[in-house]
Structure 1
Amino acid sequence: MIEQYKLGNGLRIVTEKMDHVKSVTIGVWVKSGVVNENRDQNGIAHFVEHMLFKGTHNRSARQIAEEIDRVGGQINAYTSREYTCYYIKILDEHVLLAIDILMDMLFFSVFDESEIEKEKMVIFEEINMYEDSPEDLTHDLLVETMLSNHTLGLPILGTIESVDSLNSQKLKSYMSRVYHPSRMVISIAGNFDNQMVLKNIEDHLGRWNTAIDTITEPNDLKTLTFGNWTRYKEIEQSHICIGVRGVSLGSDDLYDLLLVNNTFGASMSSRLFQSIREEKGLTYDIYSYLQNYSDVGLINIYFSVNPEQISIVKSHVLKEINKLRKRGLTHNEFIDAKAQLKGSCIIGMESTSSRMAMLGKSELMLNEIETQEDVLNKINSISYCGIHEAIERYFNYNEMASVIVGKDM
């Protein structure tokens, strides 16, 4: 059973009881990402996420890790382009410990200058790691290129220069401005006493009243950037990502495109994989995927290949897009893709972590709860006619961007 609550300060809480499990996952979601940054302080949202693990007035960084490890729990966080999530998965008997540690990190983190300087070195290495991971780099460069007219297109990690300029005062100022209760959601899924957990959270957060939320949200992204770009790297394979305009998170066309993408390039049985890898043997890795944000979305196609084969593989990809636009999906493909979507939804929602994530993200980004039943209903309502309208609307190779990382032949 899913329940929703809202504290007087605007903080939202979403819970789902799962009596058949012995664990609980609790997540704290914040509207904090590169979309809230500028170029001078690019990477600050990600840096704040790192620093919340570096010690509080009550616990050292080591103690935070040890207290969770001691009871077999897991603690982690991640920063995306539009939000940050901190979460702990733990046995149900230790749920109050998880809440206490997350609240300690949120309210009592130290932001010690010596720790900040050490963490800069860690993030510099993270940036270097991405530079040495051409597949990941290609995906990120495509987004940063297509969304270059908006802060959403800034690199999540920041740059060496922007990260190096950060200090305790800047981090604390950002956190006090962006980490506002009205911009946050706590989501919990698993086996727990609902009233006990709610009372505990309210004891921690109920009196939290910061200054009035004055964050100005960035303007809607009106224009995407199209064209071809190359990042030269002396590597054996070239990595290519092609993108066209997709749909936002709340779009009515989202599930139509998810279904089409399943058939087009999302799996080993998809058209791209079967045609270009299995039948022609031109590449080892090829797939397509959707990226969806509040105001915009992308449909991306990735492949890696010998540099001499780039134009050949790209021409076959364009042929598959053209075939999709002209002929659409067969009825059997439509039935299979719908079943695949439903199966993925059901299997993907079996853990407390995935249910916590679905509740938290949908409430934070859509201001509504999207349950598993809601998703299944949307999948069931996809029509054969609707998917072909979506194909015509979005698979438009006349407005396309591509990024190559490696050697461009």
Structure 2
Amino acid sequence: MAYRVQLPNGVRVVGEEIPTIRSVSIGVWIGTGSRYETLENNGISHFLEHMFFKGTRRYSARELASVFDGIGGQVNAFTSKEYTCYYAKVLDEHFPLALDTLADMLFHSQFAPEEMEKEKKVVIEEIRMGEDEPDELVMDVLTENVYFGHPLGYTILGLEDNLRRFTQGDILRYIGDRYSSQNIVVAIAGNISQAAAVAEVDRLFAAADNRFTKDMHNVTPPVFQAQSSFRKKDTEQVHLVLATPGIPAGDLDLYPLILINNALGSSPSSRLFQEIREERGLAYSVFSFHSAYRDCGMFGVYAGTSPEQGGEVAALIRQTCADIAAHGLTEEELQKGKDQVKGSMMLSLESSSSRMSRLGKNELLLGREVTLDESLEKINQVTPEDITRVAGRVLSQPFATAAVGPVQEEEFARWTS
């Protein structure tokens, strides 16, 4: 049974008791990411994520790593456009220690200048590594251009020049702006009772600042710009992405879009995988995806192919999308998609980490729990008419196109016309 409790200082605790397993997954979710940055501090959310692991009043950076290694647990973090998550998975008997350590990192990190300088080098290497991974780089090129001038288009990793300038004062100001109690969700799933979990969070997170978080929800929606962007790079393949405006988190049209995505390119039996890879041998990697944000979304297709085949692959992607936009899905595709999606959702129940993530993300983005039964019912209710309507809403719009690879800009321009 899932639960939701809001503590007196505004911190929200969401959880699920799972007495049939021995693990507990904990996630501290903060409603901040690159979307809430400026050009001057782009990258600070991600850098701060790193710095929380670099020493507290009680633990050095090495000792923090040893806490979880010593109990056979896992700890990590990630930053996205709209949220940052610090998470751990441990045996149920180690829940108090794990939560205590996460809280210590969140409220008592020292941000020592010498540790900051070392970690800046690490993050700069991470940024440079991304430049060497063109399948990831092309996504940044695409996002920067379709959301040009809007923070949603900023890179999550940030800019080298910004990182070099960050000071301890910058870090502390950003925490004051974004890490208030009203912007914190603690999600817990596993073999721990609601009473014990909430009591521990209440004790350890009482230190959270209860000021209203600056611009927590007052963010301007971006305007999707269907323009083309190209980065010439000496690679073996050209990495290509085509994208259209998608659907925001919480919109009921997400359910038909999940099934469209499944049929178009998110599985080995999908149209794009079968046509582009299996039938024509034009790519090893080809897939469709959808990213849902608070107030907008992006639907896209990625493919990596040889430069001389880029035009053909781009044309096949457009053609396949146009066919679904005009005619929807077959009855077989729709039913198979429902079975696949429901099966995937049900299998995710076997992981305490998946359950924790589902609880935390839904609370942070939607302000409520979306139960598995609710999601399954919404998938079951999708009709062929829903598919046609949503496919028209998403796939009939002009495509933005981005490419990274060893082709001339004139040739790339022909692919987008």
TM-score band (shorter)?
over 0.9
The CA deviation at 1:139 is: 1.8
3-state SS of 2:55 partner = coil
Whether the 8 Å contact between 2:253 and 2:390 is mirrored in structure 1 is yes
Q: 1:22-171 alignment to 2 at 5 Å?
A: 22-171=22-171
The CA deviation at 1:165 is: 1.2
Task: Give the aligned partner of residue 406 of structure 1.
Answer: 405
Whether the 8 Å contact between 2:25 and 2:352 is mirrored in structure 1 is yes
Instruction: Tell me the distance in 2 between the aligned counterparts of 1:172 and 1:222.
Output: 28
The CA deviation at 1:218 is: 5.0
Q: Say if 1:144 and 1:316 are closer, same or farther in 2 by CA, change over 3 A.
A: same
The CA deviation at 1:271 is: 0.3
Task: Give the aligned partner of residue 244 of structure 1.
Answer: 244
Instruction: Tell me the distance in 1 between the aligned counterparts of 2:237 and 2:187.
Output: 42
3-state SS of 1:239 partner = strand
Instruction: Tell me the distance in 1 between the aligned counterparts of 2:127 and 2:88.
Output: 26
Whether the 8 Å contact between 1:149 and 1:223 is mirrored in structure 2 is no
Q: Can you list the C-alpha shifts for 1:12-60, whole angstroms capped at 9, x where unaligned?
A: 0011001110000011000110111000000001111100000001101
Deviation larger for 314-323 or 98-107: 314-323
3-state SS of 1:192 partner = coil
Whether the 8 Å contact between 2:257 and 2:391 is mirrored in structure 1 is yes
3-state SS of 1:349 partner = helix
Task: Give the aligned partner of residue 15 of structure 1.
Answer: 15
Task: Give the aligned partner of residue 415 of structure 2.
Answer: none
| Alignment-mate amino acid for residue 275 of structure 1 | E
Count of residues paired in the alignment: 408
Task: Give the aligned partner of residue 272 of structure 2.
Answer: 272
Instruction: Tell me the distance in 2 between the aligned counterparts of 1:222 and 1:101.
Output: 38
The CA deviation at 1:355 is: 0.2
| Alignment-mate amino acid for residue 144 of structure 2 | E
The CA deviation at 1:349 is: 2.5
Q: Does 1:346 align with 2:317?
A: no
Instruction: Tell me the distance in 2 between the aligned counterparts of 1:32 and 1:269.
Output: 37
Structure 1: segments with no counterpart, 5+ residues: none
Task: Give the aligned partner of residue 286 of structure 1.
Answer: 286
Structure 2: segments with no counterpart, 5+ residues: 412-417
| Alignment-mate amino acid for residue 187 of structure 2 | S
Q: Can you list the C-alpha shifts for 1:255-305, whole angstroms capped at 9, x where unaligned?
A: 110101100111110000111111111122111011111111011100011
| Alignment-mate amino acid for residue 25 of structure 1 | S
Task: Give the aligned partner of residue 361 of structure 2.
Answer: 361
Q: Can you list the C-alpha shifts for 1:162-219, whole angstroms capped at 9, x where unaligned?
A: 1111111100110122100101100000001332222121112235444343336453
The CA deviation at 1:152 is: 1.2
3-state SS of 1:75 partner = strand
3-state SS of 2:96 partner = helix
Instruction: Tell me the distance in 2 between the aligned counterparts of 1:7 and 1:60.
Output: 30
| Alignment-mate amino acid for residue 299 of structure 1 | F
Whether the 8 Å contact between 1:358 and 1:371 is mirrored in structure 2 is no
Instruction: Tell me the distance in 1 between the aligned counterparts of 2:216 and 2:189.
Output: 32
3-state SS of 2:187 partner = strand
Instruction: Tell me the distance in 1 between the aligned counterparts of 2:72 and 2:363.
Output: 29
Instruction: Tell me the distance in 2 between the aligned counterparts of 1:264 and 1:212.
Output: 43
Q: 1:125-274 alignment to 2 at 5 Å?
A: 125-206=125-206, 208-215=208-215, 217=217, 219-274=219-274
3-state SS of 1:236 partner = coil
Whether the 8 Å contact between 2:147 and 2:222 is mirrored in structure 1 is no
| Alignment-mate amino acid for residue 276 of structure 2 | I
Whether the 8 Å contact between 1:235 and 1:406 is mirrored in structure 2 is yes
Query: How large is the RMSD of aligned CA atoms in angstroms?
Result: 1.2
Q: Say if 1:291 and 1:208 are closer, same or farther in 2 by CA, change over 3 A.
A: closer
Whether the 8 Å contact between 1:113 and 1:168 is mirrored in structure 2 is yes
- Displacement over 4 Å in runs of 4+: none
Q: Say if 1:349 and 1:142 are closer, same or farther in 2 by CA, change over 3 A.
A: farther
Q: Can you list the C-alpha shifts for 1:371-397, whole angstroms capped at 9, x where unaligned?
A: 222211211121121111101111025
Q: Does 1:327 align with 2:327?
A: yes
Whether the 8 Å contact between 1:149 and 1:224 is mirrored in structure 2 is no
TM-score w.r.t. length of structure 2: 0.95
Instruction: Tell me the distance in 2 between the aligned counterparts of 1:243 and 1:156.
Output: 19
Whether the 8 Å contact between 2:322 and 2:396 is mirrored in structure 1 is no
TM-score w.r.t. length of structure 1: 0.97
Instruction: Tell me the distance in 2 between the aligned counterparts of 1:364 and 1:351.
Output: 20
Instruction: Tell me the distance in 2 between the aligned counterparts of 1:236 and 1:60.
Output: 43
| Alignment-mate amino acid for residue 45 of structure 1 | S
Whether the 8 Å contact between 1:231 and 1:405 is mirrored in structure 2 is yes
Q: Can you list the C-alpha shifts for 1:281-332, whole angstroms capped at 9, x where unaligned?
A: 1122111011111111011100011111111111111111122122211111
Q: Say if 1:406 and 1:3 are closer, same or farther in 2 by CA, change over 3 A.
A: same
Instruction: Tell me the distance in 2 between the aligned counterparts of 1:36 and 1:253.
Output: 26
